[in-house]
Copies of this chain bind each other. A is one copy, B any other.
C-alpha cells in the first residue's frame, strides 16, 4: 500500500467512525429526551449492531495495514495526520487487545449491571449489585493487563481516561488537596451559613426555560448550532463542531440547580463549538479528554459563574426574570447562597469547596479495588468510613453512599479523578489568564468574550490535535495543585470571613 492510499483510507475510516458515532448519539439522545418509555429494547438492538459494525471497521485487515504504512512513513506526515494515525492506532490496539468473546460478554455484563444497579440503588440494596460489581472489577483488572501489561492495573485504567495520569501523580495531587482543604472546610463549618431559602421559592419551569435561553446568550452559545433539551441528568453531546446539544433538568423549587447545569453544560458546549472545524469528521474532533473537558465546564460554572463580579453583572436580569421570587434579595445574598459550602452525601450536589473530597473517596476505593487490596463486599464499609474521615458525614444507607453513582455499573474505573483534576486545571488557567489580561473588568460587565477567546486560543481550538498533557501544559504551564487550593482558600476566606 502506498502512502497516498493509506492517507485516503485514514480519511475514509475516520468519516465512517464519525457517522457511526453520530448515529449512536442520535439514538442515545432520542432515548434520553423524547422516546416513549418502553422503547429501550429496539434501540438497544440497533446500538448493539452499530457497535459491532464499528468494531468490524476498527479491526479490519485493511485498517491494520494502513496504520502500519502510516507508522513507517511517520516522519513524512504533518501533525494532524500524525496525530490522527496515532489516536486511531491507539483505539484499534485497545479494541483488539480484548478478545472478541470477552468484549461481547463484557458488553452484555455492563448492560445488565446498569439495570441491576438502578434497582439496587432504588432499594438501597448493595447485595443485589455486589455480584455484578465483583465481575466488573475482575474484568477491568484483566483488561488493564490488555491495555498495558507493563503498568499497575489501576495505572493502566487511569491512562485510558486521562493520558499520562497515574497513581503517583494523583496521590500527590489528592494529598496536596486534602492537606489544604480539610482544615479549610473545618473552618468554614464553624461560621454561620448564608440563607438559601429564596433559591427554593416557586420558580415556574416555563420561566426557567426562558432564563436558560438568556444564560446561553451570556455564554455566547450560537443557538443555530447549539440546542438545549431536558433530561433526568444534564449532559452535553456533540455531533460535530457545528452541532452541539446540552440538556438540563428543571426543578420548580430550585433555581440554582438548572441555572448552574446550563452554565456547566454550556462550558462543555463552548469547548466543542470552539474546536477548529478542520478536525470535524476525524478522531481529532471534540474535546481532548474528560479532565480537560471538566476544566472548561467547571471554569464557566464555578470560577466565572459563581464569582461575585459575574453575579453582580447578571443579577438585574435574574431579578427581572423572577421579580416576585427575588425582589427582596440582593446580588450579594444571591452570591453567598450559590456558594454555600457544607459537607454532604451526594457528589453531584456537592459545592465547589467539598467536591474534590467526594472524588477522593472514589479514587481511594477504586485504587484498592483494582489493586486487589479491597474486596467488593467491603466497599460499603470503606465508603462510609472515608466519608466520615474526609467530610465528617454519616452515610445513612448505600443509596446515599456507594450506590449513588452509575459509573461502576457501566464499567468505568479510573474516570472519577478527571472531575477533580479538571477543577484544578481551571484554577491554574485562571491564574495564567489573569497574568495575560484583565479578566474581571469585562466579566463585571457581563462580557465573557475575553475569557472565551483566551480559552479558545489556549485550549478549545486544538481539539485532539494536542495530547491532554500538551493542552494542560499550554494553558497551565507545569501543573501545580497549589493554584487550586489557593483559589479555594481565597474565595472561601472572603465568603465566610475566615
A: which residues have CB within 8 A of B? Answer: 15-16, 18-19, 22-24, 26-27, 29-30, 33-39, 41-43, 45-47, 49-50, 53, 223-227, 229, 239-240, 242-243, 245, 280-281
Residues of chain B within 8 A of A37, CB atoms compared: 223-224
Partner of A239, one of B34, B43, B243, B245: B43
- CA A239 – CA B34 in complex, angstroms? 13
Interface contacts beyond A23-B46, A26-B29, A29-B30: sample of 12 additional A-B pairs, CB < 8 Å, sorted by A: A18-B45, A19-B50, A22-B27, A22-B46, A34-B34, A34-B227, A34-B229, A35-B243, A36-B224, A42-B242, A43-B243, A45-B281
In the A-B complex, the 10 residue pairs with the closest CB atoms: A23-B23, A19-B49, A39-B243, A22-B46, A26-B26, A38-B224, A42-B240, A19-B46, A37-B224, A36-B227
CA distance A207 to B338 in the complex (A): 36
- A225–B36 touching, CB < 8 Å: yes
Residues of chain B contacted by A41 (CB below 8 angstroms)? 242
Tell me how far the C-beta of A362 lies from the nearest C-beta in chain B, rounded to whole angstroms.
Answer: 33
- B19 to A243, Cβ gap below 8 A? no
Known A38-B225, A42-B239, A43-B243: A26·B30 in contact at CB below 8 Å: yes
A53-B226 contact in complex given A23-B27, A239-B42, C-beta closer than 8 Å: no
Inside 8 A of A281's CB, which chain B residues have their CB?
42, 45
Closest residue of B by beta carbon distance from A37: B224
Tell me whether B42 and A23 are in contact (CB under 8 A).
no
Distance in angstroms between the alpha carbons of A35 and B27 in the assembled complex: 13
Query: What are 25 of the A-B contact pairs (CB < 8 Å)?
Result: A16-B49, A18-B45, A18-B46, A19-B45, A19-B49, A19-B50, A22-B43, A23-B26, A23-B27, A23-B46, A26-B26, A26-B29, A26-B30, A30-B30, A33-B34, A34-B229, A34-B245, A35-B227, A36-B225, A36-B243, A37-B223, A39-B224, A39-B225, A41-B242, A46-B239
- The residue that A280 contacts in the complex, of B22, B42, B43, B226, with Cβ under 8 A, is B42
- Bound CA span A100–B33, Å: 38
Q: Shortest Cβ distance from A38 into chain B, in angstroms?
A: 4
**Could you tell me the distance between the alpha carbons of A310 and B27 in the complex, rounded to whole angstroms?**
38
Report the Cα distance A22→B18, complex, angstroms: 17
CB-CB under 8 A from A42, the residues of chain B are 22, 239-240, 242-243, 280-281
- Check A39–B223 contact: CB distance below 8 A: no
> Which B residue's beta carbon lies closest to that of A206?
B206
- Shortest C-beta distance, A227 to chain B (Å), equals 4
Q: Which residues of B have CB within 8 Å of A22?
A: 27, 42-43, 46
Residues of B within 8 A of A224 (CB): 36-39
Chain B residues with CB below 8 A from A45, complex form? 15, 18-19, 281
Among A226, A240, A243, chain B packs the most CB atoms within 10 A around the CB of A243
CA distance A224 to B39 in the complex (A): 7
Report the minimum CB–CB distance from A476 to chain B (whole Å): 31
A53 to B22, CA, bound (A): 14
**Distance in angstroms between the alpha carbons of A110 and B49 in the assembled complex:** 29
Contacts of A38 in B (CB 8 A): 224-225, 242
Q: Collect the chain B residues with CB atoms within 8 Å of residue A226's CB.
A: 36
For the complex formed, measure the closest distance between the CB of A5 and the CB atoms of chain B, giving whole angstroms: 19
Which residues of B have CB within 8 Å of A15?
Answer: 45, 49
Closest Cβ neighbor of A26 among chain B residues: B26
CA of A148 to CA of B322, assembled, Å: 67
Max chain B Cβ within 10 angstroms of own Cβ: one of A19, A27, A239, A242:
A19
Residues on the B chain within 8 Å of A239, using CB: 39, 42-43, 46
By beta carbon, the residue of chain B nearest A16 is: B49
Question: A243 — nearest CB in chain B belongs to which residue?
Answer: B39
Task: Report chain B residues within 8 Å CB of A19.
Answer: 45-47, 49-50, 53
Central interface residue in A39, A227, A280, A281, by most chain B CB within 10 Å: A39
Name which residue of chain B comes closest to A227, CB basis: B36
Residues of B within 8 A of A240 (CB): 42
Most B CB contacts (10 A, CB to CB) among A42, A43, A49, A227 go to A42
Q: Is the CB of A16 within 8 A of B53?
A: yes
Q: How far is the CA of A293 from the CA of B50 in the complex (A)?
A: 29
Q: Which residue of B lies closest to A239 (CB)?
A: B42
Query: Nearest CB to that of A51 among chain B residues?
Result: B19
Q: Known: A34-B227, A281-B45. Is A242-B39 also a contact (CB below 8 A)? A: yes
A36: chain B residues at CB < 8 Å are 223-227, 243, 245
